[in-house]
Structure 1
Amino acid sequence: MSDPGGHRHDVPGGAAWSLTLARGSTLRLEALGADAVASMLLYAADDRWERLNVPDTLKAQMSARIHPPMVLMSDMGRALASVTGSSSDWHDAITGHSVDADLARFGPSDYGRDRNGWRRSARSLLLDELYAHGLGERDLHATVNWFVKVRPGGDERGTLGYVPGHTTAGDWVCLRAEQDLLVVFATAPHPLDPVAHWRPAGVRAVVAPGAPAPADDPSRSFRAESARALAAAERSAR
């Protein structure tokens, strides 16, 4: 589908999608319903051994959440993408994505019985997209779970709890590609979401042309580590 701001694609709840982004272009994700989730993997398009490193991204920028104007860093210390804006100041990157066992509470499901309503975990959906690009299980990494917030449960174990209602329809986040990227994401429910019924919300993706980060971009001044990651990506693009 077309959009005045670029190419638009609606991903239903409980589905997956992948796309390539040229350096400088933007990807805007919009929640199409309450408690939407987009569990995302990121890879450098030209060298897919380089991929998002969530622990380094959080540690280097002294954060337990993803928010603007943070930089999403690769395992080589280079910027893959920058978070240029968001309706929310909290996106989860520490609790992972759903696996098949997380769907047990919804009852059995398979394609033969449920057809397009087949309930699948984020991991299963992500793997299908990875296989289409010649990748597989060894290429899975920790995801950023856009639109999700978790908070400490206050117990001695340090339990984290899902915050329902954190996202409503129309919430959004925008990324700028700092390298040519392969982006893969799934819209299955978050593993900590206690919802009793299967009704995952969809996500709208809008891709638009853009330009690399300008000299005065907020991501450069956010942290010294953010600036270094952007500079490293720019050196590799020359």
Structure 2
Amino acid sequence: MHIRRSAEEIAANRQRYEEHQRKGLEFAPKALPAPSPLPGPLIDEAAVIHAETIPGGWYWSTALKRGESIRIDQGGAFSTVALVAWNAADTSERLNLVDTVKVQWTTALGKGRVIFSDMGRVMFSIVEDSSGAHDCLMGGSTPASNAAKYPNVKTRNTRDNLVLVAGKLGLDRRDIPAVLNLFAPVRIDDAGEFRWRGTLSNSGDYAELRAEMDMMVGFSNCPHPLDPDPVYAPRAVTVTRFQSASPTADDLSRTATAEAVRGFENNALMLA
């Protein structure tokens, strides 16, 4: 159905767009820091809400409140963790990696970046990250990719795991957004091919994501389709949910780019 807009509404939208464009051109993005040091500091026990160990090949989901954080920790061994998220108040709003990449002009997600929803709001701030090697382009494993990679071996895969996550949350497979693969050092070579660059990762990496809205978050702990290990042997990871310290006025994720500033403005409108 075609919606006709008034000349006044069109003019107001154009003015708003031009103002955003002007701010973006005038805004000098802040330089992002080096990866967080290893090993990660201990989390204050008084702040911990829950800690969950996800066995290799399995999945888990949790509610996450605005102002809480999650630390995803590989422990002492390498493992890729796929993550998806939905707005708890309206699950039609979900993690959107296309917008996350597009509005920040980069596929390199690390400390200081934010992760957007499909409504232009910020879902997560990446407040700590020892890796900087995450994949937001390829998606997770499927029965077909696992069958080709591990013939004659019974395995679990990310697509089926997230279908189970969605079902337990009262959602359908069509509600599952594209996944963020944490600890997946995928890069694009000069020929435009996806390549696995294992030297970008450390065994024992961790990432901390601060929730900027109330969410439901799902995880799948399965090998990435490009992981070169020929043996299906995913390691356990730990996800710790804890109360974050309140962000300061100069919080890096909130001020690093003009796009992040606008995203948080949209969050404020939602909460008003």
Q: Is the 8 A contact 1:23 1:212 kept in 2?
A: no
**Equivalent of residue 135 in structure 1, options 160, 165, 171:** 171
Q: Is the 8 A contact 1:30 1:171 kept in 2?
A: yes
Which residue in the other structure is 2:96 paired with? 53
Which residue in the other structure is 1:69 paired with? 112
Question: Take 1:146 and 1:208, find their aligned partners in 2: how far apart are those partners?
Answer: 19
Q: Deviations over 1:101-136 (max 9, x none)?
A: 111132345xxxxxxxx5111000111011001112
Question: Take 1:107 and 1:3, find their aligned partners in 2: how far apart are those partners?
Answer: 44
Question: Take 1:173 and 1:73, find their aligned partners in 2: how far apart are those partners?
Answer: 17
Structure 1: gaps spanning 5 or more residues:
110-117
Question: Take 1:224 and 1:213, find their aligned partners in 2: how far apart are those partners?
Answer: 18
Residue 204 (1) aligns with residue 238 (2): yes
How do 1:108-187 residues align onto structure 2 when only pairs under 5 Å count? 108-109=152-153, 119-155=155-191, 158-164=192-198, 166-187=200-221
Which residue in the other structure is 1:115 paired with? none
Which residue in the other structure is 2:151 paired with? 107
Q: Is the 8 A contact 1:14 1:200 kept in 2?
A: yes
Stretch of structure 1 that moved more, 202-211 or 16-25: 202-211
- Could you list the structure 1 runs, at least 4 aligned residues long, displaced by more than 4 angstroms after superposition: none
- Offset, 1:189: 0.5
Q: Is the 8 A contact 1:36 1:201 kept in 2?
A: yes
Amino acid at match of 2:116: M
TM-score with structure 2 length normalisation? Answer: 0.79
- Offset, 1:33: 4.5
How many residue pairs get aligned? The number is: 227
SS at match of 1:29: strand
In structure 2, relative to structure 1, the CA distance for the partners of 1:81 and 1:74 (3 Å cut) is same
Q: Deviations over 1:179-199 (max 9, x none)?
A: 001100101100111221111
- Offset, 1:3: 7.8
Which residue in the other structure is 1:91 paired with? 134
Structure 2: gaps spanning 5 or more residues:
1-42
Which residue in the other structure is 1:112 paired with? none
Stretch of structure 1 that moved more, 23-32 or 210-219: 210-219
Which residue in the other structure is 1:233 paired with? 267
TM-score with structure 1 length normalisation? Answer: 0.89
SS at match of 2:61: strand
SS at match of 1:67: coil
Q: Deviations over 1:165-219 (max 9, x none)?
A: 5433421100110000110010110011122111112211111112554321111
Q: Is the 8 A contact 1:178 1:212 kept in 2?
A: no
Question: Take 1:69 and 1:173, find their aligned partners in 2: how far apart are those partners?
Answer: 12
Which residue in the other structure is 1:43 paired with? 86
Percent of aligned positions that are identical: 34
Question: Take 2:241 and 2:44, find their aligned partners in 1: how far apart are those partners?
Answer: 9
**Equivalent of residue 23 in structure 1, options 41, 66, 88:** 66
Q: Deviations over 1:29-62 (max 9, x none)?
A: 1013543111110111110000011011011111
Question: Take 2:200 and 2:133, find their aligned partners in 1: how far apart are those partners?
Answer: 9
Stretch of structure 1 that moved more, 83-92 or 121-130: 83-92
Which residue in the other structure is 1:192 paired with? 226
SS at match of 2:198: coil
Q: Is the 8 A contact 1:92 1:144 kept in 2?
A: yes
